[in-house]
Amino acid sequence: MIRSIAWVVIGLLTLAILVSSQESIAQKKDTLAVLKKFPKPDRKGAPPLGHTATIGAKINFPKMFVLTITKVEPAFFSPGSSVTVYYQLINRSARVAHGYVRVDFQGQENKGHSALVANLPAGSLTAGLVKLQSPPVCYTYVVEGTYFQTATPGITRNKPQQITNMAYDIMVLGTSADIIDNDKDFMDDGLEHHLLEKFRPYFKFSIDEGIEQYAPAWPLWYIGHSQAGANFSNQFRTQCEPVAGFDQASLVSSATALLTLNNPVLGASSLKDNKAKTDYHLIAGNEAEHGSPWADVRSSRKVGLYGHVVPVVLSGPGDYKRGQVFGCAPDASNRLFYKVEYWQFFGYNFAHHKILDLGVTDHQSDWTTVQLLIDAANESIVSVFHYVHGIELRFDILPGMTLVPGSGDGGMGKLFGTITGSNAAAFQPSTDIASKAGSAIKDNAYLRLFREDENSPFTHPVVYIENGSHEFWPTESGKVGTTIATETFFTPLHNGDDRENSYFTDTPPNLGEVENPLPETNAAQVILQYNGYWGCYNLANPPPPGPTLHTEWTYPFNSTYYPALLTFLED
């Protein structure tokens, strides 16, 4: 009889354990579906400034209590400002509940606030709010809510038991639940694409002793017609030693193999594994140097062209300086801008005005760029940057400036227009911007813009491209001189007079960020992360590294790479 009773007890206990286990499984499947009620920004316009919230519930057990943070106000706010957090607590237990809800910013737990919960009947809910001050930092904020149960009403009267909590993610710069931000730079990827389309440049190639011999090239095609090399002496960059196992055949099958080099002397060839500029080199073949056929370039209108967009916060456009990382917190004295960048790849830099007939300025590969600073409030151009042999030519569009359609360049037609700046009169075709006098007047001379038709706005910067050496000029004026002994040699012409091969570019793919390349192009990862040089051959003018190792590349404020790479960036 005793044995029978024991078996009954054991059976009942086993049943209770099974029921409890099944209830726990059910609890784990019970994820709150919280409505995301934030307004979706108009991707043709700027999202609101400041910070916004995305709900992500994390529910602890038991299931007797469910805490939900339902809203954070204001939806957009600046660091250090007052924030109101709304919550809802459901009592699913069979008894009256006592306790409190505590709300904190993650990492700021000692600065949180609590709301008392007393005499909450079984099967009922309560809603309340807690006021916080947001931390004075720029990053992804997480608001954490936790319900603590006590035996009797009060916060400090007895030892509380943590029952349930959840997290509420706060993003910055207008990011919300409706925004896709795969490169995690706190901008909607759709907005980035829209900006790259709206401001894409017009390329005017030039004739100098013939048409351009080295047309735009696809980087992956270039890699597939190269082999990986290394320079261990760091003295004569023409002497690149091939790296075993990374010949042309291996790079044709997988360009990303270039990111897997790991020499004991040079280290890893990927920025993800080695935040430094290394002496790995691509040893390109002759076919790779000449780029794509001109017919293909004109048809595609984006061969070797890539985009990059990042938000920057400035007190005004004049505060922008290349090679810097900017804050993320718009407030009464700071405004949100968009930095829109276009990067163009060529297989060879041929300065056919050879210094002493040695071609000492020639080198394999070229990365060139034109960039814009856009006011996020109305998507207007405030500044345009053309880069020439490491020299920045900047034009700031000031109030009162007027664009004159069909002006300049011998009358380019009504689709082209010119804005005249303060240094226009002094800036001539003979101006050497590398000289002291030329450097003083290189900025704010002329800006040429293009529009798609006579009913469209002038939103596309015109680029005058040097023949052979591919530098990006704002007009046909200006040159760069190099003096050897007593003789000065100048760069090739950039008259923009090759009408057959000039074109209005198509929207380029968005590269994304070093940490998070975007899938718009399968070249993004190697372009962003390869930390070596994109060529080998040169005599005195080394080939360039990739865009992310240039000061012209603007890193987002949350980048973990910029601090380590600062000393490796070049103009």
Write out pLDDT tens, residues 278-332: 999 999 988 889 999 999 999 999 999 999 999 888 888 899 999 888 766 555 5
Same domain, 330 and 273: yes
DSSP string, 181-246: -TT-SSS-HHHHHHHHHHT--EEE---SSSS-SS-B--HHHHHHTEEEEE-SSSS-TT-PEEPTT-
Task: Tell me whether residue 165 is in a domain.
Answer: yes
Statement to judge: residues 118 and 234 lie in one domain: no
Torsion sign (Cα): 287, 289, 294, 300 = positive
- Strand, coil or helix: 361: coil
Kindly report the number of other CB atoms within 10 A of residue 177's CB atom.
17
**Which residue range forms the structural domain that includes residue 508?**
189-396+502-568
pLDDT at 76: 53
Beta bridge partners of 281: 229, 533
Nearest to 267 by CA among 251, 280, 283: 280
Total of domains in the chain: 2
Whether residues 97 and 237 share a domain: the answer is no
Q: What is the pLDDT of residue 296?
A: 97
| 149 and 218 share one domain | no
pLDDT digits (tens, 9 = 90+) for 439-494: 999 999 999 999 999 899 999 999 999 998 999 999 999 998 877 777 777 888 99
Among 121, 147, 172, where does a domain finish? Answer: 172
pLDDT at 114: 80
Q: What is the pLDDT of residue 78?
A: 58
In a domain, 160, yes or no: yes
Overall residue count recorded for the chain in this entry: 571
Q: pLDDT at position 65, please?
A: 82
Q: pLDDT value at position 108?
A: 62
For strands 262-263 and 267-268, give the pairing. antiparallel
Task: Identify the pLDDT of residue 5.
Answer: 45
User: Side-chain half-sphere of 46: how many Cα atoms within 13 Å?
Assistant: 16
Q: What is the dihedral of CA 259, 261, 262, 268, to 10 degrees?
A: -30
Domain CATH code at residue 57: 2.60.40.10
Question: Residue 111 — φ and ψ, nearest 5°?
Answer: -115, 15
pTM of the entire predicted model = 0.74
485 domain residue, yes or no: no
pLDDT beneath 50: ranges in the chain: 1-10, 12-62, 137, 139-140, 156-159, 165-177, 356
